[in-house]
Amino acid sequence: MKKTVIQYVLDRLKEEGIADVFGVPGDFAFPINDAVCKDSDLRWIGCCNELNASYAADGYARIKGLAALSTTYGVGELSALCGIAGAYAENVPIFHIVGMPNSKTQQEQRIVHHTLGDGVYDHFVKMAAPAACAHAILTPDNIVSEMERVIHAALAEKRPVYVAIASDHAEAEITIPTDSPVQASLQSDPKQLVQVMAALKEELGNAQSAVVLAGVLLRRLGLVSMVQEWVEAKGIPYATMFMDKTALDESTPGYIGMYDGKIGNTEVRQFVESCDVVLNLGGLWSDLNTGAFTANIQSSRRIDIMQHHVVIGQTAYENIEMADVLDALAEFDIPRVSSSPEPKGLSAPQSSQDTSIGMDYLYSKWESFLHSEDILIAETGTASLGMSTALMPSNSLFLNQSLWASIGWATPAAFGAALASPDRRIILITGEGAHQLTAQEIGQFYRYGLKPVIFCINNQGYLIERLLCKEPELAYNDLADWNYCKLPEALGCKDWFSARVSTNNELDEAMRQAETNGTGAYIEVVTDRNAAPPVAMALHQFITTLYGK
């Protein structure tokens, strides 16, 4: 059978469940753009710019497990790089396809647009490589094996991969081999696995109490149901760290709350830090997961079961796949504690007077607004910190980007998540400073028939920075003074409900409208310049440990 190189790529992606391709078109990518649009099983998802497209692909992949992104040479791919690096950091697989100039143009080192003018054509693949777990220049000769290598890397590592194709190569016809290409899958080293399980058995056998920290990696690796059943069957209490919120369901028995060192709930912290064994399933000991490095779990009590390795105390075991360990662990006895903390959400919103909008009221209202199955996208900053202690309803998701923590991620990521799950309600909560980076993507929700509920906090500046810097009133924390509630109209969201609210009653009324209006909704929430939710205020207390001074 014959097909073009690009059709081969797209067909393989479809086999992996890809139905949408995000991107911005460009002339060197025309053969890719053409093929996507002409394939009746694929939908082209045009974004306003490539950074936004990469964030949208990220949001989509967090739901669907894989996303595809198409950009053009140089200008397009470099614009997407920050978003791709974020997906790399946070184990989100994105298949990035870049259209390059004609191979003859490259060979002749011609000076064409979208180049540095030096006739050199491998600058950008080199720049992209650190943010990809595999990369390839695809040609008619290598397409079958290289495609298999990179797609396997994306799925095994749960990280972005980068492929580039010259325009003429994309359209070249190849003969597809009748044998399907085979790529060996990652396997645990059997001897190491035996050793690690023996060590685990001993550790757990000696312990009187154990707690699980459930990492978001479980979700990326498709291990959520297995672990959810296991913790419930064994009665093991579990917490999540900031980056991992809703890695497991927060509505089922066993969930005790967020563990985040001294910026998290004290009862949860004391419980976790007092257990004989802390079984960390994929969580990262990063600054924002550990309450600015205030977490205090003795390494002798810590067991880190990571994607490809396990650490028990001071001993590291390499070439061990997380799924294999969790499989074997299901057979083990786990020490049970007699009692563990009850998860505390935010308190119910107090019946309010019609005053300016306080933080307790606002975040409690948002918590109470959430339904089962909702997807909440919380932007880095006070928004995600404030919602991190909300108790999420069953089967709801809390998406944030707290390791890469690139402000602006949330708005396009919400668009991608909405496309990936058209039957679920999408709620975006963003601060206005972060929103300004990528706000134009709002227009895409309407364009693609999606109806999110968007809350934009307007507190006249980068509030999280005001909390973390030395002199909050320096000019760099100020912003252009937008009329946020007018954005949907300007960006073509023709029938949306939009409001600007600055009192509790106005907020209540707008949230009622957003709940019932049947359209997209955009609510600009005006709050006091320095009002921040408790977790953000707590982080402010630990600036010294946060920055390692």
CA distance 424 to 420: 9
**494 contact partners, CB below 8 Å, separation of at least 6:** 446
Closest to a second copy by CB, 286 or 517:
286
Q: Please provide the distance, in angstroms rounded to a whole number, between the alpha carbons at the two ends of the chain.
A: 63
What residues contact 430, with CB distance under 8 A and at least 6 apart? 379, 383, 410, 411, 454, 455, 456, 457
Question: Tokens in use for 304?
Answer: 């880190």
Q: Whole-number minimum distance, CB 508 to a second copy, in Å?
A: 25
* Buried-exposed string 475-511: b where 16+ CB fall within 10 A, e elsewhere: eebeeeeeebbebbeebebeebbbbbbeebebbbebb
Minimum Å gap between C-beta 255 and a second copy is 25
| Distance set, CA 419 to CA 15, 115, 506 (Å) | 19, 33, 30
**Shortest distance, CB of residue 518 to a second copy, whole angstroms?**
21
Of 168 and 189, the one with the shorter C-beta distance to a second copy is: 168
Nearest CB to a second copy, comparing residues 130 and 253: 130
In the complex with a second copy, the residue whose CB is nearer, 249 or 287, is: 287
Q: How far is CA 212 from CA 247, 320, 348, 479, in A?
A: 12, 19, 28, 42
- What is the rounded CA–CA span in Å between residue 359 and residue 378? 16
CB of 289 to a second copy, least distance (A): 8
- Find, among 406, 180, 401, 213, the residue nearest to 301 by Cα: 213
**Mode of pairing for the β-strands spanning 173-175 and 2-4:** antiparallel
Q: Crossing angle, helix 30-38 and helix 5-15, to 10 degrees?
A: 50
Nearer to a second copy, 29 or 275 (CB): 29
Q: How far is the CB of 490 from a second copy (least distance, A)?
A: 4
- Cβ proximity to a second copy: between 130 and 190 the closer is 130
Which residue number, 256 or 414, has a Cβ lying nearer to a second copy?
414
Minimal CA–CA distance to 201: which of 193, 212, 211?
A: 193
Q: How far is the CB of 454 from a second copy (least distance, A)?
A: 14
Q: Which is nearer to a second copy, 57 or 362 (CB)?
A: 57
